[in-house]
Structure 1
Amino acid sequence: MIITDTHTHLYSEAFDDDRDEMIKRAIDSNVKRFFIPAIDSTYTSSMLKLQQEFPENVFLMFGLHPTHVKENFKEELAHVEEMIHKHQCYAVGEIGIDLYWDKTFLKEQQTAFKTQIQLAKKYKLPIVIHCRDAFDEVFEVLESEKAEDLFGIFHCFTGTLEQAQQAISYNMMLGIGGVATFKNGKIDKFLHEISLEHIVLETDAPYLAPTPYRGKRNESAYIVNVLDKLVAIYQKTPEEIAAVTTENSKKVFGV
């Protein structure tokens, strides 16, 4: 059985004391594929080092996270394209709009999101979307860029059934992680209405640890708890859930 974590920040400072052991714990739990989203240029060297150390398991994406869109966002976007040129890149991400923390740079976030979607199309890459308190704004940009060559993953999906269906209509898989295990997570109430063909697994480690680790540091091995939740929702075996979601990840990332 091979489980794919489609979204994990393995380079995070939260893992500085035990990164290798944490990754080995995940691999020992059958999590063999880790897709690594970018935040901004300050993490690039850590990401590249990680890929060199685990070349069979780690797959990088490059992008500018919406909460890191500031006055210098054009320089950051130039760095994203430079990295796509120089290194093997499997997606443009994570990108999107986040209005939870701060609305100061909403216009810049919208511009950066749109620009990076166009970058993904240029290089025939998927996108990985971050959306927090911004479904309407994200969908507005996706609608303006809607095309056959727009595809990817709606990371950490926490919306309604209707929003899930809208995301899928833009050729997006739904990234399902720890929130599905929360008592108040809500998405577990309707996920059975979404075909497993539209689902990929993720942790967003070190964030959003699933029950029973909620509130603690998340790690990729805990994706097993998310998988178990989907076993209960879809009434399939762990092997079936792992196989379908890993195949879905291959369709998105091409590997």
Structure 2
Amino acid sequence: MVLTDTHTHQYYETDPVKKAELMQRCLDNGISRLFLPNVDSSSIPQVMDMVSAYPQYCFPMLGLHPCDVKANWEQELDAIYTALQQTKVYAIGEIGIDLYWDKTFITEQQEAFRTQINWAKDAQLPINIHCRNAFDEVYAVLEQAFDDKLRGIFHCFSGTLEQANKIIDLGFKLGIGGVVTYKNAGLDKVVEQISLEHIVLETDSPYLTPVPFRGKPNESSYLIHVAQKVADLHQTSLENVAQITTENSKIIFGV
């Protein structure tokens, strides 16, 4: 069984011993494909260090996280673009719009999002979308950018069935993580109505820890609990969910 974590910040753990233990727990649970998004230019070395340490298991993505779109956003984009010319990556991300904490830079977030979508198209890469309290704003940008080059993953999807179908109609996969295990989140009711062909799995480690570890730091090995919940919702086997969602990830990332 091969499970794929399509979105993890496991590189935040810098202690080599603890990092090795995290990876071993992943492998013990069948999670042998980890896709790592940076968040800004300063986190690129952390991503690449983990990729260098575990090249057979870890795959990098690069982009500017919307929460890191600040006054210096153009310089940040320049630095990330330079890194992209020097590094093989499998997606541009995570990118998007986040209006949860602060709306000060909404215009800049939108512009950075558009710019990075164009990078992805030019490089024939997928995008990995971060969207929080901003579905309409994100969808508006995607609609404008829609063509046969636009593809990717809507990371940490937690919206309605209607929103899910709108994203699926654009050709995106839905990234399903720990929220699907939360009793009152309502995501389980949506996921059970979505075909597995439209789903990939993720942890967003160290955030959004699934039940039964909620309240503790998340890690990629906990993806097994997300996968089991999806299997239960679809009344199928864990192995079937692993096979389909990993194949979906291969279609998106090309590896």
- Aligned twin of 1:150: 150
- Aligned twin of 1:60: 60
- Aligned twin of 1:188: 188
Provide the TM-score with structure 1 as the length reference.
0.97
Question: Is 2:38 aligned against 1:43?
Answer: no
Following TM superposition, by how much is the alpha carbon of 1:71 offset from its aligned partner in structure 2, in angstroms? 1.0
- Aligned twin of 1:240: 240
- Aligned twin of 1:27: 27
Following TM superposition, by how much is the alpha carbon of 1:14 offset from its aligned partner in structure 2, in angstroms? 7.9
Deviations 1:25-51 (A, max 9, x none): 111111000000110011111111111
Residue 199 of structure 1 contacts residue 245 of structure 1 at CA under 8 Å; is this kept in 2? yes
Residue 8 of structure 1 contacts residue 220 of structure 1 at CA under 8 Å; is this kept in 2? yes
For residues 237 and 80 of structure 2, the distance between their equivalents in structure 1, rounded to whole angstroms, comes to: 39
Identity over aligned pairs, percent: 51
For residues 6 and 15 of structure 2, the distance between their equivalents in structure 1, rounded to whole angstroms, comes to: 18
Residue 3 of structure 2 contacts residue 32 of structure 2 at CA under 8 Å; is this kept in 1? yes
Deviations 1:167-216 (A, max 9, x none): 11111100000000001121111212211000000000000000111121
- Aligned twin of 2:76: 76
In structure 1, the gaps of 5 or more residues are none
Following TM superposition, by how much is the alpha carbon of 1:80 offset from its aligned partner in structure 2, in angstroms? 2.0
Residue 13 of structure 2 contacts residue 19 of structure 2 at CA under 8 Å; is this kept in 1? no
SS in structure 1 of the partner of residue 39 of structure 2: coil
Structure 1 segments (4+ residues) deviating >3 Å:
13-17
- Aligned twin of 2:121: 121
SS in structure 2 of the partner of residue 18 of structure 1: helix
Shift in CA distance, 102/14, structure 1 to aligned 2, threshold 3 Å:
farther
SS in structure 2 of the partner of residue 190 of structure 1: helix
For residues 117 and 173 of structure 1, the distance between their equivalents in structure 2, rounded to whole angstroms, comes to: 16
Residue 5 of structure 1 contacts residue 35 of structure 1 at CA under 8 Å; is this kept in 2? yes
For residues 17 and 169 of structure 2, the distance between their equivalents in structure 1, rounded to whole angstroms, comes to: 42
For residues 190 and 66 of structure 1, the distance between their equivalents in structure 2, rounded to whole angstroms, comes to: 26
- Aligned twin of 2:135: 135
For residues 87 and 228 of structure 1, the distance between their equivalents in structure 2, rounded to whole angstroms, comes to: 34
Amino acid of the structure 2 residue aligned with 1:145: A
Following TM superposition, by how much is the alpha carbon of 1:17 offset from its aligned partner in structure 2, in angstroms? 6.9
- Aligned twin of 1:166: 166
Tell which deviates more after alignment, 113-122 or 82-91: 82-91
Shift in CA distance, 134/16, structure 1 to aligned 2, threshold 3 Å:
farther
SS in structure 2 of the partner of residue 147 of structure 1: coil
- Aligned twin of 2:215: 215
SS in structure 1 of the partner of residue 10 of structure 2: coil
SS in structure 1 of the partner of residue 80 of structure 2: helix
Following TM superposition, by how much is the alpha carbon of 1:13 offset from its aligned partner in structure 2, in angstroms? 4.6
Q: CA RMSD in A?
A: 1.2
For residues 226 and 15 of structure 1, the distance between their equivalents in structure 2, rounded to whole angstroms, comes to: 26
SS in structure 2 of the partner of residue 33 of structure 1: strand
For residues 66 and 14 of structure 2, the distance between their equivalents in structure 1, rounded to whole angstroms, comes to: 20
Residue 51 of structure 1 contacts residue 58 of structure 1 at CA under 8 Å; is this kept in 2? yes
In structure 2, the gaps of 5 or more residues are none
Residue 38 of structure 2 contacts residue 61 of structure 2 at CA under 8 Å; is this kept in 1? yes
